[in-house]
Amino acid sequence: MFPARRAYLFLQGPRSFFFQQLGQRLIDDGHRVVKVQFSVADHHYWRLGGSHAFHEPWPLLGDFIAELWQRYEITDQVAFGDCSPLHQGVLRTARRRGIRNHVFAPGYFQPYWLTLEREGVDGYSLLPRDPGWYYETGATIAHSLPGRPFDAGRPRSRLPARVMDGMVNLVDPLLFRQAYRAVDRANAVYASRMSPVSITTQASRRPASSANRDFPRQSRRLWHRCETFLQARKPFYLLSLPASQDPRLTRHSPFTDATQLLTAALASFAQFAPGRSRLAILDGEIGSRSRRRQIEALVLQHGLATRVTHLHAASLPKLIDHASGLVTVGGSDGTLALARECPTLALGNTPYRMPGLATAIAMDDFWMHPMAPDAQLFRRFSSVVMHATQINGDFHVREGRDLAVINAAHHLTASVSPLEQLLCDSRLLVAS
pLDDT at 67: 97
Describe the strand order of the beta sheet including 100-106 as a list of residue ranges.
51-53, 32-37, 7-10, 76-80, 100-106, 113-118, 390-392
According to DSSP, the residues that pair with 391 across neighbouring strands are 114
Residue 206 above 60 pLDDT? no
Contact (CB, 8 A) for 265 and 363 = yes
Q: Which of residues 300 and 158 earns the better pLDDT score?
A: 300
Lowest mean pLDDT among 35-49, 130-144, 199-213: 199-213
Average pLDDT over residues 179-189: 47
Q: Are strands 278-283 and 390-392 parallel, antiparallel or unpaired?
A: unpaired
Provide CB contacts within 8 A for 288, sequence distance 6+: none
Q: Mutual orientation of helices 131-138 and 375-389 as an angle, nearest 10°?
A: 70
d(CA 363, CA 366): 5
How many degrees, rounded to 5, is the angle at CA 331 between CA 136 and CA 20?
100
Query: If you average pLDDT over every residue of the chain, what do you get?
Result: 85
Q: Which of residues 286 and 353 earns the better pLDDT score?
A: 353
pLDDT at 7: 98
pLDDT at 232: 86
pLDDT at 145: 72
Q: Residues of 379-402 as b/e, b for ≥16 C-beta within 10 angstroms?
A: ebbbbbbbbbbbbbbbbbbbebbb
Lowest mean pLDDT among 37-41, 121-125, 188-192, 398-402: 188-192
pLDDT at 284: 79
According to DSSP, the residues that pair with 51 across neighbouring strands are 35
pLDDT at 216: 53
pLDDT at 158: 44
Quick: pLDDT tens for 376-412.
Answer: 999 999 999 999 999 999 999 999 999 999 999 999 9
Residue 177 above 60 pLDDT? no
Residue 200 above 50 pLDDT? no
Quick: pLDDT tens for 134-153.
Answer: 999 999 998 777 778 887 65
Prior bond of 111 cis (ω within 30°): yes
pLDDT at 214: 44
